[in-house]
Structure 1
Amino acid sequence: MILNEGELMYHGPINKVEGYFEDLGFKCPPERDIADYLLDLGTRQQYRYEVEQGSKAPRLPEEFGDSFRQSALYQETLAALSAPHDPELLRTVKENMDPMPMFQQSFVESTAALFRREIMISYRNKAFIFGRLLMILVMGLLFSTIYYDFDPTQVSVVTGVIFSSVMFLSMGQSSQLPVFMANRDIFYKQRGANFYRTSSYVLANSIAGIPLSLAETVIFGTLVYWMCGFAANVGLFLLFELVLLLSNMAMGMWFFFLSSVCSHENIGTPLCMMSILIFIIFAGFIVTTDEIPDYLIWAHWISPMSWSIKALSINQYRSSAFDVCVYGAIDYCTDYGFTMGEYYLDLFGLDTGKEWVWYGVFFLAGIYFVFMFLSVLALEYLRYEAPTNVDVSDKSMDDGSYALLQTPKSSTQSDVVEVQVNTQEKNFAPVTVAFQDLHYWVPDPKNPKGEQLELLKGINGFAVPGSITALMGSS
C-alpha cells in the first residue's frame, strides 16, 4: 500500500507494483532501490523516472489516486470484496473468532488492575500529595483560628463557615481537570485496542481518588469542626465528615464528566469555572433560597453545594444542644414559636426538618453515581481523537519541477501550452576518494569521563564514482 497526502496511489501485490507504474509512464533505474523509487513518485523527484519527459504521467497525489481507481487492479479488489465469502473461512471464523470475547479479563479483574495502576500513578507523585495535604492543613488551621469558638446565634457566621468549608474542598477537585483530559488520550488508545471496559476505567478512577479525598476531609473537617465550636457530639461529627466527603467526591466526578464531554481543555476550563460559579451563587448562602427567582430555583436544587450546606446547617442547629426552647436567656418557643435551632434555620431561609440531612446524603451519593454513569456514556460514545501527522499542504499547488504556462487571454480555455523544463543533472568530474589509517573514537556511555571507545581502528579503503556508500550506526 502506497499513500500520499491521503490519496491511495497503489494497493496490491508486490510483484505487480513495478509493472503498474511502468504502465503509467515510470521506470525504475537499475541502480535505484525499488523502495526509494516508489517513495519518490508523487514528489518533485519523480521526473527522473519518467520514460518520456513532458508526458501526461500523473504528478500530483490526487492524480495518482484517480489513476489507481481507474485501474484493473482496483476493480479486481472491489470484485473480490463484493464476492461471497469462502464457506471454509466462514466456518473457521465461527469456530475460532466468534467464541473469542471482546475483553480478555472479566469486569472485576480489569477494574482491579486499573485501580492498582491508578493508585501507583497517583501516589508516585509524592510531591503533589505532600503539597496538597500541607495546603489542607494550613487552610484548616486558618479557618479554625479565624472562626474559633463562634457564637451559634450568629447564623450568618455559622453558615459562612459551612459554606466556605464545602466550597474549599469542592473547588480543590477542579485542579484535576487537566489531568483527566491528558489521561483521556491514553484511554482512547487502550480502549480502542479492547484493553478494558469503559466502565472499569471510570470506576477505577473514581475509587482511586477516594483515599486522597478522605484524607483531605478528615484533616480539614476535624480542625474546623472542633475548633470552631460545632455541636460536641461524635455522631454529628461523623455525619459532618460524611457530607463533606460526599460533596468532595460528587464535585470531583462532575469535573471528570466535564473532561469526558469537552473536546479540549480550553473548552473544559471555562465550563468548569462557569459551573462552579452557578453552584456557588445558587447554593443558598450568597443568595438565600427565598430570594432566588422562581424561574432559576432549579439551579438551587441541582447544586451539590446547596444540599451540602443545608444538610450541615440542619445537622448543627437541630442537635440536642441547640434544638431547645430556651437558649441564652431567650425563650424561642414562646417568642417565635420555634426552637432555637429551627428559628435560626428559618431565619436564613433553610428547611428545618432533620430528614433533610439524609436527603442531602442520598442526593450527593446519587449525583455521584449519575455523573459516573454519564462519564461512562461520554467516554464510550464521544471520541475526540485527532489524527497525527496531518498534512496541511495545499493540494492545488502544482509541483515545482514542472511549469504550465498560459497567457491571460487563453486562461479561460481548456488548452494549455506545456513547456518542458530541462531538469537533467549538470555534468561533473568524477573523482575517487581514498583513505588510509582511519581512526574514530566516541565517548563511552558507561564512563563518559574515562577513555573513549575506538570504533574504527586503522581502516584503509577507497570509493570509486557511482559506488555504494556504507554508513555506520543507526543511519
Structure 2
Amino acid sequence: MSENLLLTSRPGDVKVQIQSPQPKKLTHLPERPKVDLAFSDLNYTVKQGKQDKTILKNVSGRLRSGELTAIMGPSGAGKSTLLNILTGFKTDGVRGQVLMNDKERDLSQFRKLSAYIMQDNQLHGNLTVDEAMTVAAKLKIGEKSRPEREDIISEILDTLGLIDHRTTMTSGLSGGQKKRLSIALELVSNPPIMFFDEPTSGLDSSSCFQCISLLKTLARGGRTIICTIHQPSARLFEMFDQLYTLSDGQCVYQGSTKMLVQFLGRLGLQCPSYHNPASYIIEVACGEYGNHTRKLVNAIDNGKNDVREGKPLPELKITDNLNNAEKYAHDIKNTIVASKFNKDDKNAKVYNDTTIPALPQKVLNNGVKDDHSKDDVEKANAESALLGDNAMPVKQPRYGNTELQQFFIILKRTLLFSRRDWTLMYLRLFAHILVGFLIGALYFKIGNDGAKVLSNLGFLFFNMLFLMYTSMTITILSFPLEMPVLLKEHFNRWYSLRSYYLAITLSDIPFQTIFCVIYVTIVYFMTAQPLEASRYGMFLLACLLVSFVAQSIGLVVGAAMNVQNGVFLAPVMSVPFLLFSGFFVSFDAIPVYLRWITYLSYIRYGFEGTALATYGFDRSKLQCFISYCHFKSPSITLEELDMIDSSYMVDIVALVVIFIVLRIAAYVFLKLKLRANH
C-alpha cells in the first residue's frame, strides 16, 4: 500500500496530499551491502591557462542509504564536478577525504559497488531491450545460471515498466524509456549506490515525474541514490529526501527538502507564498536577493551541518575565519527553535502552525560523527561487519565475468549490431560491388596486353587507393561513436578494455575480408590478370593486408581524436604514403634524405606486392596487338618500377608488422583517452 504524506512548506499554507511511490522489492537481485557515503573538505582545482581555478572549496557532506538526494545549484556552481568526484570519474586535482560507511574509500572496489548513469543515454540502437539486458546480465552477473538471469531481467523490466518493450529496438524507445533502460542495465548487478547526472534532462513533465518516482522507489529499497538536477518543479522537489545545494563551489544547504523553507526563513530569507522552494534557493544562490552566500555557507558550515527533521537541535558551531561569522552564529542560535511532530499517524507528518521542526547538526571532521539512534547504530555496525575492516566487502573480482568470457560476449554483441547496421554493412557491400564492376569495365581485359601495361599499373595503384579509403574512413566514422558507450560501460565495470578492444578488433575482420574478396575477384578476372591460382592468391593477400592496415589507421585516428578532426587529418596523413608508394616516382629517383619514408609506406608494400604477383615470378611475355610493345616482357616493367630485386615475402611481412604496430598503438591511445576522461 502506498504511503500518504501531508506536507506543507510553511505555516498557513494549504496542506497537500502527495502519493509516495510504492517501493517494489526486487527479490531476485543479488544481495549487496548498504552504503553511506561521506566527504570532508573536498577541494577541486583545474588549470585555466597559467592560472589555477578552484571549482569546489572545501565542501563536506553525507549521503545516506535509503534516501534520494538531489545536488542542486546555479550553472557553474560545481554540482556536476562534485558528482564526478564522488563517482570516482574525476581524480586529478582533488584534495579531501571521501568515506564509505565511515571508512576510507577504496576507489577500485567502490566502482564495483556503484553505477554512474550519465546525462546522455549511451545505448546501442541496433539491439532490442531484451538483447541489451541479456548482454548486461552476462557481463555483470555471469556467475548466475541462465534461468536466474532471466528471472532478474524480467523482474527489473517489469518494475521499470519496460516488460512490454522487450522486443523493441533501443533506437525506437522514447526518451523516458531510454532513461529507464539505462537504469535497468546498471540495476542488473544491484549496485547499492547509484549516481545520476541530470536524469530529467530532455524529458517532458510526465516522463520527469516517472523518472524521479523510479529513483524514489530504488532509494526506498535501501540504495543510496544521488543525482544532479537543474531546477525541478515543486512536484518533483517534494519527492526528494535530501537536498545538497552549491553556490560558487561552496555548500549553502544540506538537509531535508522539507526543512529548506524554514531554514531559509530563520536566516531572513522568506520564500514567497506559492513559490517553488527549489527555484527560490537557486535564486538566492545566484544573488537575486542580495549576496547571502557567505551567510548560508556559515550557517551550514560548508556542508558539515546537516539540517534534519525530528531531532533536538544541538549547539551550532560555525567555524569560519570571516569577520562576521560570530554574528551569523548568534543570529541562527537565537532564531531557530525545535518543533513537535504529530505522531498519531505513522504514515503522516504534519507541521505545527506555530513551530518549526528542529534542525539537527551532523559534523564531519576527518571522519563521520553521527548521532544515530540505537537502531541506526546497530544497522551501521552490521553493515561495517559485512563490509569488513577496509570498508569493503571481501575482495571482489574486478568484473562480473572472466576476460575470455567478456571477449566472446562482446564479440557476439558487436557482430549482431554490425549485421544490423546499414551503413557499416550493406552500404559497404554495395560500394565494393559497384566500384568493382565500374573498375572492371574501365580496365576491361588489359591485364595481358603488352601495350597497356601503364594503364594496368594505374589499375593496381587504384586498388590500393580504394581499399585504403573505404577501410579507413568507415572506421574513423564509426569507432568514435562507440566511445561514449565504452566510457560508460568500462567505468561501470562491465568489462576490461583488453576484452573490448580485442572483440571489436576481430569483429570487423570477417566482414572486411568478405568485401575485399568480392571486390578483388570482380576486378581481377574482369581485367584479365594472370589466370593462375597462386598469383590470384598473392594478389588477394596483398590487397587484404592493405585493407587491414588502413582499418588499423582508422582505429588509431578514431581512438586519438574526434570524428571531425579524424575525417580531415586521416586523408592528409595518407598523402605521404601515396607519394612514396613507388607509382609516381621510382625509388632511385627519390632524394636520399627522403627515402626512409618509403619504408613506412604501407601503400608501397601493397602496390609492390600486387605488381610482383602480376608481373613477377617469371611470367611469360604479354600479348602485343601492335607492331612494338616496350613492356611486352614483364621483367622490363619490374625494372622500370625498380622492383627487379624486390621480395614479395618482405612486402607481406612488412604489412603484417605495420598492422600489429598500429593495432597496439590504437589500444594505447584508447587507454590514454579513457584515463583522460576518467
TM bucket normalised to smaller? 0.5 to 0.7
Rounded Cα–Cα distance in structure 2 between residues aligned with 1:93 and 1:195? 26
1:30–1:206 CA distance, 2 compared to 1 (3 A): same
Matches within 5 A, 1:23-172: 24-27=267-270, 38-43=281-286, 47=289, 58=292, 73=305, 79-81=365-367, 92=388, 94=390, 97=393, 99-126=395-422, 129-147=425-443, 148-150=445-447, 151-152=449-450, 155-172=453-470
Q: For residue 284 of structure 1, what is the aligned residue in structure 2?
A: 582
Q: For residue 526 of structure 2, what is the aligned residue in structure 1?
A: 227
1:30–1:128 CA distance, 2 compared to 1 (3 A): closer
Equivalent position amino acid for 1:115 in 2: L
Rounded Cα–Cα distance in structure 2 between residues aligned with 1:175 and 1:22? 60
CA contact (8 A) 2:516 2:543 kept: yes
Deviates more, 1:104-113 or 1:223-232: 223-232
1:370 aligned to 661, 665, 668, which one?
Answer: 661
Larger Rg: 1
Q: For residue 434 of structure 1, what is the aligned residue in structure 2?
A: none
Q: Structure 1 or 2: larger helix share?
A: 1
Q: For residue 182 of structure 1, what is the aligned residue in structure 2?
A: 481
Spell out, residue by residue over 1:230-258, the C-alpha distance to the aligned partner (whole angstroms, 9 max, x if none). 23221221121121111111101111110
Rounded Cα–Cα distance in structure 1 between residues aligned with 2:267 and 2:676? 37
CA contact (8 A) 1:42 1:64 kept: no
Spell out, residue by residue over 1:64-117, the C-alpha distance to the aligned partner (whole angstroms, 9 max, x if none). 66876667639786623499xx99679716595462122222222112122122
Rounded Cα–Cα distance in structure 2 between residues aligned with 1:320 and 1:29? 96
2:571 aligned to 273, 293, 303, which one?
Answer: 273
1:177–1:321 CA distance, 2 compared to 1 (3 A): same
2:611 aligned to 313, 319, 325, which one?
Answer: 313
Q: For residue 10 of structure 2, what is the aligned residue in structure 1?
A: none
1:128–1:327 CA distance, 2 compared to 1 (3 A): closer
2:672 aligned to 360, 378, 381, which one?
Answer: 381
Number of residue-to-residue matches in the alignment: 359
1:140–1:18 CA distance, 2 compared to 1 (3 A): same
CA contact (8 A) 2:615 2:634 kept: yes
Alpha-carbon deviation of 1:30? 8.2
1:272–1:327 CA distance, 2 compared to 1 (3 A): closer
Alpha-carbon deviation of 1:294? 2.4
Equivalent position amino acid for 1:258 in 2: V
Spell out, residue by residue over 1:189-234, the C-alpha distance to the aligned partner (whole angstroms, 9 max, x if none). 2222122222222222222212221122111111222232323221
SS of 2:431's equivalent in the other structure is helix
1:382–1:327 CA distance, 2 compared to 1 (3 A): closer
SS of 2:73's equivalent in the other structure is strand
Rounded Cα–Cα distance in structure 2 between residues aligned with 1:121 and 1:186? 14
Spell out, residue by residue over 1:284-327, the C-alpha distance to the aligned partner (whole angstroms, 9 max, x if none). 112222222223223221121111111121222223434xxx77
Spell out, residue by residue over 1:92-148, the C-alpha distance to the aligned partner (whole angstroms, 9 max, x if none). 165954621222222221121221222121111347633332332232222223321
Rounded Cα–Cα distance in structure 2 between residues aligned with 1:24 and 1:146? 84
Equivalent position amino acid for 1:366 in 2: V
Spell out, residue by residue over 1:30-52, the C-alpha distance to the aligned partner (whole angstroms, 9 max, x if none). 876765654553247x74xxxxx
SS of 1:382's equivalent in the other structure is helix
SS of 1:252's equivalent in the other structure is helix
Gaps of 5+ in 2: 1-70, 78-245, 306-317, 320-361, 370-380, 625-631
1:328–1:232 CA distance, 2 compared to 1 (3 A): closer
Deviates more, 1:219-228 or 1:92-101: 92-101
Matches within 5 A, 1:431-446: none
SS of 2:493's equivalent in the other structure is coil
Alpha-carbon deviation of 1:16? 7.6
1:98–1:367 CA distance, 2 compared to 1 (3 A): farther
Equivalent position amino acid for 2:366 in 1: A
SS of 1:4's equivalent in the other structure is coil
2:637 aligned to 344, 352, 371, which one?
Answer: 344
Equivalent position amino acid for 2:645 in 1: T
Matches within 5 A, 1:203-242: 203-242=502-541
Rounded Cα–Cα distance in structure 2 between residues aligned with 1:43 and 1:175? 47
Rounded Cα–Cα distance in structure 2 between residues aligned with 1:227 and 1:2? 68
Rounded Cα–Cα distance in structure 2 between residues aligned with 1:126 and 1:265? 19
Equivalent position amino acid for 2:510 in 1: P
Rounded Cα–Cα distance in structure 2 between residues aligned with 1:94 and 1:71? 25
Q: CA RMSD in A?
A: 3.7
1:6 aligned to 46, 56, 76, which one?
Answer: 76
1:297 aligned to 584, 595, 603, which one?
Answer: 595
SS of 1:42's equivalent in the other structure is helix
SS of 1:196's equivalent in the other structure is coil
1:139–1:57 CA distance, 2 compared to 1 (3 A): closer
Rounded Cα–Cα distance in structure 2 between residues aligned with 1:154 and 1:227? 15
Instruction: Give the TM-score of the pair, scaled to structure 2.
Output: 0.47
Matches within 5 A, 1:453-472: none
CA contact (8 A) 2:74 2:286 kept: no
SS of 1:349's equivalent in the other structure is coil
CA contact (8 A) 1:314 1:352 kept: no
Equivalent position amino acid for 2:557 in 1: L
Rounded Cα–Cα distance in structure 1 between residues aligned with 2:413 and 2:454? 45
Spell out, residue by residue over 1:366-404, the C-alpha distance to the aligned partner (whole angstroms, 9 max, x if none). 2222222122211212259889xxxxxxxxxxxxxxxxx
Spell out, residue by residue over 1:144-195, the C-alpha distance to the aligned partner (whole angstroms, 9 max, x if none). 2332133257543332221111111111121332222222122112222122
1:98–1:375 CA distance, 2 compared to 1 (3 A): farther
Alpha-carbon deviation of 1:19? 7.0
Gaps of 5+ in 1: 48-55, 330-338, 388-475
CA contact (8 A) 1:2 1:11 kept: no
